[in-house]
Structure 1
């Protein structure tokens, strides 16, 4: 039996096939075309949204936007690959009317219209809200790490710079000694010219690292990335990577992404108010409930959220269903209008005055006004303020941890520099230098590494070795400095958390990230900087929401709603 045979490649036809016949009636590409045609490109501020009267005609921004939406939907986002699709993909030919833009035109469109592309994501969400796809009942907030266009070798922390500069000093000293003895010895492995070359390389590299360190200290930043300045080194599931911590808010019923935020914070602390405020504005509602995991536990952020009309149902580490929130007490008189209002300013005024707003009845209970102690500068730390860096190091060598608050570093009893590692939940700053501690045998702390915790008011601490020596000499190990304390009034409430919403959190937040990173393979960005990465994340979230909308409604229903 013969095989099926196709048409001859050289066969000519009198009436060519219509390209529309090759595209199914329910193909997603028809939805992309109709949605982009419904947008007001001038309102979204796309570049060249009005064609010029003279000169060579350019490409319609609608066509290039359609191309990018199609590409991100079908896992093709490289400008060169998109340019190839224009010539070999029948659906893209249908979508663009057989236009063939080159890769540079495609690439420049995404970079030049980064802010406008982000707005397209919100425009599609508005369209879906009109179809009642967003329930607006509550949202689930979560973060995930995405790799940036920046290798770990091109990212420097202060500890990393300190260690490299120290090693370069050792190499420079060694090369200088070898140069001094170069003429006296014979049969050397390296000539004078080779030694001088290596010495100059070390000096040049040291000068570059010192410039990076000076820049970081003056800007109070912890890291510097050379390729993508906005990317930061952070811990992900697969280890450490240089990237961004992307925050998303997922609608409770439709599982669609209601909003996102680009951050370079290594942790999720303090992100609820920032993310939920944008979603609350897009939803157009007065009070928005949220849920998040334990990584979002931050008392100050929860206080700001409640004052902004956001209820933070954050999972507690102890598994409880209540949380104590605290506001600074301001004894103002609250009117009935303020008590029933949902305006953030009125909400904050009520909460600071010890009055529970009507919208928080049942959510906040057990109001009490109490006096708490507020620590101030220890009396023994005042002398450190007048010390120079050399004097601080000399004081540290006597058996102390001395903190330079201006440069945000700590000198240890061995003269090494400890840099800020993290900020603990109680507000203390943890300083550490693992690279210096590997070869150190001094037991100055009980920690595995020289980790020293300082409050924002502490400047000097006694090392364990010094404390033991003083205890052995005079029997007095109590070297704690006297402190001046003051009292302040605060208002405390009990926040009742919704256990059902917290139990449903994982079913909401994990699905979008799993689809974007695993199914679609978008675990890294192609662009650099907050603005461009935000545009790319907007296209990722838009492609996900398009899939969800098609799954919930179908292409024909969505097309009918657009017409």
Structure 2
């Protein structure tokens, strides 16, 4: 039996086929076309949304936006690949009316309209809310790491800079010795000019690294990225990567992404209020319930969320269904109107006065006021504030960990510099230097590495051996007085919804899995918060388009747009 035969490529057709016949009636590309045609491009802020009266005609921003939505929906993100699709893809020919802009025009459109592109994602969400696709019952918040346009070698931390500067100092010393001894020895492998050239390179590199270190110490940042300055080194599932921690909020019923926020915070602590506040405004609801995993455990953030009309159902590390939240006590007379209100200012006033608002009845219970005692700065710390860095290092060599609060570093008993590693849940700041501890045989602390914790008011700590020595020397001396500070607080018991917490993984994991694995959107092509947010908007838009099509179908969505 013979095979099916196609048409002859050289055969001429008297009446060409209509290009519309090549695109199926329920093709997603028809939804892209109808959705973009409905947008008010000038209100969204697109450049050249109104054509100029003179000059060479430009491309309609609607056509370029349609091209990008099509590209991100079908995993074609590169401007060069999109330019190729315009010439060989029938659906793109239909979408753009056979226009074929070059890659530079396509790339510049995304770069110049970053804020407007982010708004397009919100416009589609508004359209879906009009169709009641969003249930607005509660949302699930989660974060995931997306790689940035920045290699690990182009990301420098303070500890890495300290180590590189130290090694460069050693190289410079060696080259200086070789130059001094050059005239007295023969048969050397390198010439004098080559040694001088290597020495100049080391000095230039050291000067550059010292500039980066000074910049970080002045700004208070812990690291710097040279390619994408807004990206940060953070831990991901596959190890460490330089990227962004993207927060998404997923609607409980439709599983559509209700909102997102691009951050460079390596952890999820303290993100619930920031993410949910914007969703609450979009949903236009008095109180919004959220759920999140253990990584969002932050009592201060949960208190802020409740004060803003957001109920945080965060999974507890002990597996319980209750959590204690605390507010600074502010004595005030609460009226019935304030108690019944859902305005953030009224909610905060009630919670700080120890009164449970009506909207939180059954959710918050057991309001109790208590006094919290804190100690002021130790007397011994005052002398450290007057020390120079050299004096601090000399003091550390006596058997102390000395903290330079201005530069945010610690000198260890061996004279090495410990940099900030993290801030613990109890507020203690942890300092360490793994590179220096690899070759150090001293047992300054019980930990494997020289990890030492300081609170914000402590500037000096003795090692275990030094502490025993001081205790023996000062056993007959009276202890210096410590000033107590008493603060009044009000505490509540927050009752968490177990069903919502159990359903969290079913909501948050699927969108990230679809974007990263199915669509290949696990990395960004653009740099900087504004551009990365625009690209993330296209990621979320492509996902929500798929969900809307799955829920209603292309034909129903197109009919609703027209």
Q: Structure 1 unaligned segments of length 5 or more: list them.
A: none
- Tell me how far apart the structure 2 counterparts of residues 372 and 386 of structure 1 sit (CA, whole Å): 31
The answer for the alignment partner of 1:343 in structure 2 is 343
SS of the counterpart of 2:57? coil
Alignment of 1:81-230 (within 5 A): 81-230=81-230
Aligned length in residues: 562
The answer for the alignment partner of 2:525 in structure 1 is 526
The answer for the alignment partner of 1:310 in structure 2 is 310
Alignment of 1:29-44 (within 5 A): 29-44=29-44
Task: Report the alpha carbon displacement of residue 188 of structure 1 after superposing the two structures with TM.
Answer: 1.1
- Tell me how far apart the structure 2 counterparts of residues 185 and 417 of structure 1 sit (CA, whole Å): 38
Structure 1 position 512 matched with structure 2 position 511? yes
Output the TM-score relative to the length of structure 1.
Answer: 0.98
Task: Report the alpha carbon displacement of residue 252 of structure 1 after superposing the two structures with TM.
Answer: 0.3
- Tell me how far apart the structure 2 counterparts of residues 376 and 546 of structure 1 sit (CA, whole Å): 56
From the superposition, tell whether residues 270 and 24 of structure 1 become closer, same or farther in structure 2 (CA, over 3 Å). Answer: same
Q: Any conservation in 2 of the 1:142–1:249 contact (CA below 8 Å)? A: yes
Output the TM-score relative to the length of structure 2.
Answer: 0.98
- Tell me how far apart the structure 2 counterparts of residues 280 and 479 of structure 1 sit (CA, whole Å): 57
The answer for the alignment partner of 2:488 in structure 1 is 489
Q: Any conservation in 2 of the 1:470–1:477 contact (CA below 8 Å)? A: no
- Tell me how far apart the structure 2 counterparts of residues 478 and 292 of structure 1 sit (CA, whole Å): 52
Q: Any conservation in 2 of the 1:468–1:477 contact (CA below 8 Å)? A: no
The answer for the alignment partner of 2:77 in structure 1 is 77
Alignment of 1:199-278 (within 5 A): 199-278=199-278
The answer for the alignment partner of 1:536 in structure 2 is 535
Q: Any conservation in 2 of the 1:380–1:482 contact (CA below 8 Å)? A: no
Task: Report the alpha carbon displacement of residue 480 of structure 1 after superposing the two structures with TM.
Answer: 8.8
Structure 1 position 51 matched with structure 2 position 51? yes
From the superposition, tell whether residues 459 and 529 of structure 1 become closer, same or farther in structure 2 (CA, over 3 Å). Answer: same
- Tell me how far apart the structure 1 counterparts of residues 59 and 214 of structure 2 sit (CA, whole Å): 46
Measured against aligned partners, the alpha-carbon deviations of 1:21-66 in whole angstroms (never above 9, x if no partner) come to 0000000000000000011111101100000000000000000000
Task: Report the alpha carbon displacement of residue 481 of structure 1 after superposing the two structures with TM.
Answer: 7.0
The answer for the alignment partner of 2:376 in structure 1 is 376
Q: Structure 2 unaligned segments of length 5 or more: list them.
A: none
The answer for the alignment partner of 1:298 in structure 2 is 298
Query: Higher mean Cα deviation, 461-470 or 306-315?
Result: 461-470
SS of the counterpart of 1:49? coil
SS of the counterpart of 1:514? helix
Task: Report the alpha carbon displacement of residue 194 of structure 1 after superposing the two structures with TM.
Answer: 1.1
Q: Any conservation in 2 of the 1:287–1:310 contact (CA below 8 Å)? A: yes
SS of the counterpart of 2:184? coil
Alignment RMSD:
1.4
Query: Higher mean Cα deviation, 65-74 or 400-409?
Result: 400-409
Task: Report the alpha carbon displacement of residue 190 of structure 1 after superposing the two structures with TM.
Answer: 1.3
Task: Report the alpha carbon displacement of residue 385 of structure 1 after superposing the two structures with TM.
Answer: 1.1
- Tell me how far apart the structure 2 counterparts of residues 554 and 437 of structure 1 sit (CA, whole Å): 61
From the superposition, tell whether residues 430 and 16 of structure 1 become closer, same or farther in structure 2 (CA, over 3 Å). Answer: same
- Tell me how far apart the structure 2 counterparts of residues 512 and 478 of structure 1 sit (CA, whole Å): 64
The answer for the alignment partner of 1:407 in structure 2 is 407
- Tell me how far apart the structure 1 counterparts of residues 196 and 465 of structure 2 sit (CA, whole Å): 44
- Tell me how far apart the structure 1 counterparts of residues 160 and 206 of structure 2 sit (CA, whole Å): 13
Q: Any conservation in 2 of the 1:462–1:479 contact (CA below 8 Å)? A: no
Measured against aligned partners, the alpha-carbon deviations of 1:379-410 in whole angstroms (never above 9, x if no partner) come to 11111111111111111111111111111111
- Tell me how far apart the structure 2 counterparts of residues 222 and 481 of structure 1 sit (CA, whole Å): 35
Task: Report the alpha carbon displacement of residue 468 of structure 1 after superposing the two structures with TM.
Answer: 4.2
Measured against aligned partners, the alpha-carbon deviations of 1:430-469 in whole angstroms (never above 9, x if no partner) come to 0111111111111110011101101111111111232244
Task: Report the alpha carbon displacement of residue 551 of structure 1 after superposing the two structures with TM.
Answer: 0.4
- Tell me how far apart the structure 1 counterparts of residues 509 and 369 of structure 2 sit (CA, whole Å): 40
The answer for the alignment partner of 2:548 in structure 1 is 549
Query: Higher mean Cα deviation, 205-214 or 394-403?
Result: 394-403
- Tell me how far apart the structure 2 counterparts of residues 483 and 527 of structure 1 sit (CA, whole Å): 54
The answer for the alignment partner of 1:502 in structure 2 is 501
Q: Any conservation in 2 of the 1:467–1:479 contact (CA below 8 Å)? A: no
- Tell me how far apart the structure 2 counterparts of residues 190 and 136 of structure 1 sit (CA, whole Å): 73
The answer for the alignment partner of 1:394 in structure 2 is 394
- Tell me how far apart the structure 2 counterparts of residues 328 and 475 of structure 1 sit (CA, whole Å): 39
Measured against aligned partners, the alpha-carbon deviations of 1:208-267 in whole angstroms (never above 9, x if no partner) come to 000000100111111100000000000000000000000000000110000000000000
- Tell me how far apart the structure 1 counterparts of residues 312 and 120 of structure 2 sit (CA, whole Å): 28
